[in-house]
A and B are shown apart, each in its own frame.
Chain A
């Protein structure tokens, strides 16, 4: 158990629908990252939050949005789902080292299947 909790583990839905993925970071970690992993695109960075504020944005579609709440848990909202959104969605939280590097701890992922 990495300490990063993601729910649900599996989700099957239909095109056009909307889903919410939830992530609780490790205790004490203020940053939350979302990544999408698919066979054709590999691991793609979506978005990062730090203590409730958006810190960095990657290849996140406009149909996707995220937020981090005061208790530091985060939600990733995916709407108007398309077949191509089927993927593993990972959440990670981080601790910043003295060197300035961020070391990420990943959750087990949420597998989304869009039919």
Chain B
């Protein structure tokens, strides 16, 4: 069975400071992992994906995530937050052979000037 836990429901940062959004997963197999972002009143947009290639994955808008199998983690980072990064972020896991994805409960990122 696959599951994902986002460790923080809210993260607050100042503009220009680093962002860290934490995600732990549980999977019986070698999973695929994703981060999606949802801006207010918008649909979900794919930020980045890990599918068993390089463990450090680069996404859009300067975001990165590192797959750490030993820690079952897939944390999302960005060196310098921008006001436009304020949104809700979802960590997602998918086991091979499962056509569906399991979403975390989301982390709301708040960016202050």
* Residues of A near any B CB (own CB < 8 A): 2, 4, 31, 33, 35, 42-43, 45, 48, 50, 55-56, 58, 90, 92, 97, 99-109
Contacts and interface: CB of A to CB of B under 8 A. Distances in A.
Given A42-B105, A101-B49, A101-B51, A106 B43 contact: yes
B103 A56 contact: no
B100 A48 contact: yes
A31 B42 CA distance: 21
Interface stretch (B13-21, B68-76, B90-98): B90-98
Interface of B: 32, 34, 36, 42-46, 49, 51-53, 90, 94, 96-103, 105-106
Given A42-B106, A45-B101, A2 B45 contact: yes
Which residue of B46, B97, B99, B106 has the most chain A CB atoms within 10 A of its CB atom? B99
B100 A103 contact: no
Q: Is the interface of B mostly helix, strand, loop or mixed?
A: loop
Contacts of B32: 97, 99-101
Contact of A108 (B34, B36, B42, B90): B42
B99 A56 contact: yes
A15 to B, nearest CB: 25
Nearest to A9: B41
B39 to A, nearest CB: 11
A108 B41 CA distance: 8
A44 B46 CA distance: 17
Contacts of B102: 45
Given A45-B102, A90-B44, A102-B101, 20 more contacts: A2-B45, A42-B105, A42-B106, A43-B90, A45-B100, A45-B103, A48-B99, A56-B98, A90-B43, A97-B51, A99-B96, A100-B97, A101-B32, A101-B49, A102-B99, A106-B43, A106-B45, A107-B43, A108-B42, A109-B43
